[in-house]
């Protein structure tokens, strides 16, 4: 069987006009003259008497993704929102959730592993799914200084409001509180509040997901303490296309299968603009790329062969957040049919620089 054709990388002769239309139409489906227009739809589903909730997004008859709400109810346990089963335009899922290792890597995710309010001794994990402490249990792999049975419980990112705009793209606005989990209480202490914006769009042979997070303290200043591997925006790729299972990671710097941390301005560990992971599911060549936003205060990367790609501003230095200086961070995710040409990835990254949270917020609040 022939390999799928590569994504068209022919430069647009009218770049100014192209960029001006990026937000409104360029990421939407291109409709041939006389063809029936295909549109997005969003279904707000709350099954099992509201025990869980998801916003299921489709494009015509094709699945696109679902935004699953967090809950600490035992049979639907999930501590942060998850944009799961992100599909290519051909309907192939390229993100993974609850893979065989590290179940807290949930598809497209947002969180941070060490969050502390000024004047509070507690350091709360909003990345993993750590249980309530078990004083008598040893950690075979980490020992006494980092016993995961003693570091919890992880906090919950609870959704307090959800709004959306659906037309030639889907824009979802979530209001969340980052709160502790306390024994015997349905709700814990609120440490921070967040506005999160998702944009889902289609263009040619790619599904584009843009995510913007704005984090503010609930009262006193809050700090994202340096966290080597856990946060802030990331994706776990489908297990069938990760490097361990035959896939290939490539980045904007020309590296094949980069691994571990990339934080330097120059040299072998220089910071990439994007990282892509491509492999085969059945006979289909598919993949997903993560792209940083150039307006982020820092873009520090962590990528692994088992299929994790994350970008953060707080791997090596703390980020102190006040009401006057909220933490704002964005990333783009691109699910693609066929291989993703480096020139196409570069163009998608450049286009992302023209997208802002204010633009998306205006669509939802209009």
Query: Quick check: is 107 in a domain?
Result: yes
DSSP letters for 167-226: SSSEEEEEEEEEE---TT-SS--EEEEEEEEEEEEEETTEEEEEEEEEEEESSS-EEE--
Domain that holds residue 266: 15-365
Query: Quick check: is 178 in a domain?
Result: yes
Query: Quick check: is 3 in a domain?
Result: no
Query: Quick check: is 8 in a domain?
Result: no
DSSP letters for 306-346: TTEEEEES-SSS-EEE-SSS-EEEEEEEEEEES---HHHHH
- Residue 4 is predicted with a pLDDT of 35
Report whether 62 contacts 85 (CB < 8 A). no
Query: Quick check: is 10 in a domain?
Result: no
Which residues of the chain have a pLDDT value below 50? 1-33
Nearest Cα to Cα of residue 167 among 70, 27, 262: 27
**Could you tell me the pTM of the whole model?**
0.89
Query: Quick check: is 9 in a domain?
Result: no
- Residue 318 is predicted with a pLDDT of 97
Q: Kindly report, residue by residue over 80-92, the tens digit of the pLDDT.
A: 999 989 999 999 9
- Residue 20 is predicted with a pLDDT of 32
- Residue 74 is predicted with a pLDDT of 85
Query: Quick check: is 5 in a domain?
Result: no
Here the CATH number for the domain that contains residue 81 is 2.70.98
Distance, in Å, from the CA atom of 235 to the CA atom of 157, rounded to the nearest integer, reads 17
Query: Quick check: is 1 in a domain?
Result: no
- Structural domain total, the chain: 1
């Amino acid at each position: 069987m022939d390999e799928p054709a590569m994504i068209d990388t022919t430069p647009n002769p009218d770049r100014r006009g192209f960029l001006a239309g990026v937000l409104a139409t360029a990421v939407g489906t291109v409709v041939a003259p006389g063809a029936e227009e295909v549109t997005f739809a969003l279904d707000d589903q709350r099954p099992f008497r509201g025990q869980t909730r998801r916003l299921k997004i489709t494009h015509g008859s094709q699945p696109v993704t679902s935004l699953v709400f967090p809950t600490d109810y035992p049979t639907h346990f999930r501590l942060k929102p998850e944009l799961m089963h992100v599909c290519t335009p051909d309907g192939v899922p390229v993100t993974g959730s609850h893979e065989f290792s590290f179940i807290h890597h949930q598809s497209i995710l947002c969180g941070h592993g060490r969050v502390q309010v000024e004047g509070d001794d507690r350091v709360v994990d909003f990345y993993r799914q750590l249980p309530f402490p078990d004083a008598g249990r040893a950690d075979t792999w980490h020992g006494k200084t980092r016993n995961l049975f003693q570091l919890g419980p992880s906090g919950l990112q609870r959704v307090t409001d959800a709004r959306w705009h659906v037309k030639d793209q889907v824009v979802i606005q979530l209001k969340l509180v980052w709160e502790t989990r306390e024994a015997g209480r349905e709700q814990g202490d609120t440490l921070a509040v967040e506005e999160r914006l998702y944009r889902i769009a289609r263009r040619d042979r790619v599904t584009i997901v843009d995510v913007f997070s704005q984090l503010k303290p609930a009262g006193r200043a809050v700090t994202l303490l340096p966290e080597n591997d856990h946060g802030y925006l990331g994706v776990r790729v489908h297990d069938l296309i990760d490097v361990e299972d035959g896939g290939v990671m490539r980045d904007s710097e020309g590296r094949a299968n980069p691994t571990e941390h990339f934080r330097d301005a120059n040299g072998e560990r220089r910071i990439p603009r994007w990282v892509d992971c491509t492999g085969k599911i059945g006979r289909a060549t598919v993949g997903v790329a993560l792209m940083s936003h150039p307006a982020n205060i820092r873009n520090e990367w962590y990528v692994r062969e088992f299929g994790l790609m994350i970008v953060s501003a707080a791997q090596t230095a703390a980020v102190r957040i006040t009401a006057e200086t909220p933490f704002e961070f964005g990333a783009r995710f691109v699910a693609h049919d066929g291989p993703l040409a480096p020139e196409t990835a570069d163009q998608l990254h450049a286009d992302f620089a023209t997208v802002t949270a204010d633009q998306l917020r205006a669509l939802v609040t209009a």
